Amino acid sequence: MINVKIKLSIALLSVCMFSNAQNHIKLADPSNEVTINKHIYGHFAEHLGRCIYDGFYVGEANDSISHTAGVRNDVVDALKKLQIPNLRWPGGCFADTYHWKDGIGPKGARPSIVNNWWGGVTEDNSFGTHDFLNMCELLETEPYLAGNVGSGEVQELADWVQYVNFAGKSPMSDLRRENGREEPWNVKFWGVGNEAWGCGGNMTAEYYSDIYRKYATFMADWDNSGGLYRIASGANSADYHWTETLMKNIPNHLMKGVALHHYAVINWNKKGPSTKFSDEEYFKTMKSAWFMNELIEKHTAIMDKYDPQGRVDLVVDEWGGWYEVEPGTNPGFLYQQNTMRDAMIAGMTLNIFHNHAKRVRMANLAQTINVLQAVILTKGKDMILTPTYHVMEMYKVHQDALLIPIALESDNYQYGEDAIPAISASASKDKQGKVHISVVNIDPSQQKKVSLDLGAIQAKNVTGRILTTSNLREHNTFEQPNTVVPKEYKEAKLQGNHIEIAIPAHSVIVLELI
């Protein structure tokens, strides 16, 4: 038996695990200070495998797939339904090899590039700055541009900012107009490099913090009057020294966000299959996903030390499951299937983000289409939605809602001598006064009875939706695209200020109270 209590930064969520504990969730009063920022629901589109080309973009000349300026209309419709708040591009590792001026102007005159990071393929640069930013307008989402620090220069990034944001007369805004765009796009989110500790240059934290200060200075004026949201390349998982160095060395006024990357990986040298995984591999994946909670707590503690006012946000701009590629596919394309295991990762991780919403203000699932924990898979004319897509669609009710702190007691999900909480949960109150509670049971075989104490929250009616399957390894295919889809959940029983639910094994439930 183990007894673990986890204290979050909001100091109002606790998780207690006992071998045969009663699963219990108690809601506090909605916070008037902490909002679950919609940008936690961001996505990531890197020039990697079939994410951009043959994913988002099928080309203007394509006459077999419905598109707008080469961008698939079915993808646009699906992502708009998710209400994605931001989209990160062009990388990832690719960002620090990308020179944006190669991707503007007449497409036939653009130079090609070899994507050394991902498969060694040659790209024709037909999808560039205008294509991406115009696509974001189609998606009704905010662009998040990742700047080239690793192989680029300060002037190159400063020119990019001027090209996309400056409304007056200047060399770069004049060039933008020559290329067909009169008004600027007014891009707010900017990454100053990516994974500077690795593919972004193998830098030390001390060196990168100085480099960051230089780049950030020349991206804006004295007062950052353009309102740029500059994001520093942050730590790789548990590299707390990296976060400490950046927070200590970079003035707050130069930095609005510090990134954090963490993937739910079993072993980087042996990641395991995406669908035919063992029970042990499932547990280890869930344990790695649950580690996100500890990472956020410890990185937040460092940030609180140097920024007690909370002016700098923690931006988890790469997260998700990472397995071996599907058999017969290019190893450099990172194409993997998406099962109920991925739904568990998504539900658990989003609950963690919600409960740390005071500091975690933005995040980006890796990646949107055909890469890693994708929400969409495409094959020719066909498109399917993954279990991860359905979790994010169910959870979108939490976007920009007031956080309701909770106290949680959970059974163990135990494997061998190791254990993690079986239940994760979060709650919020939206602008219409509706309360939403999301509950995840990651136990692969045991149904869990959960008692919810609403405290002072009054409710007359409860409805719900559930994502569940009979088999943890089930997934949607192009032959059977609706194997895993949300269904109505009618089993919630409201009695006074209490609700009783029975959540099946490996399931996600979202309740709505009115």
Contact between residue 238 and residue 212 where contact means Cβ atoms under 8 Å apart: no
Among positive and negative, which fits the CA dihedral 283, 284, 290, 294?
positive
- Which one of 46, 123, 281, 318 is the catalytic residue? 318
The residue whose two tokens read 């280890």 is: 284
The CA dihedral of 299, 305, 308, 313, to the nearest 10 degrees, is -30
Task: Give which of 348, 426, 421 is closest to 19, Cα–Cα.
Answer: 421
CB within 8 A of 257, min separation 6: which ones? Answer: 229, 230, 231, 232, 312, 313, 314, 315, 361, 362
d(Cα 25, Cα 499) in Å, to the nearest integer?
Answer: 10
Task: Give which of 436, 418, 419 is closest to 427, Cα–Cα.
Answer: 436
| Residue 294 known to be catalytic | no
Residue 360's CB is within 10 A of a number of other CB atoms, namely 25
d(Cα 293, Cα 316) in Å, to the nearest integer?
Answer: 12
Helices marked H in 140-239: 154-165, 171-178, 205-219
Write out the E strands in 322-454: 360-366, 376-379, 382-385, 402-403, 406-415, 418-421, 423-429, 435-441, 448-453
Contact between residue 10 and residue 405 where contact means Cβ atoms under 8 Å apart: yes
Task: Give which of 291, 264, 431 is closest to 352, Cα–Cα.
Answer: 291
| Residue 195 known to be catalytic | yes
- Which one of 46, 123, 195, 474 is the catalytic residue? 195
Question: Hey, which residues are catalytic here?
Answer: 195, 318
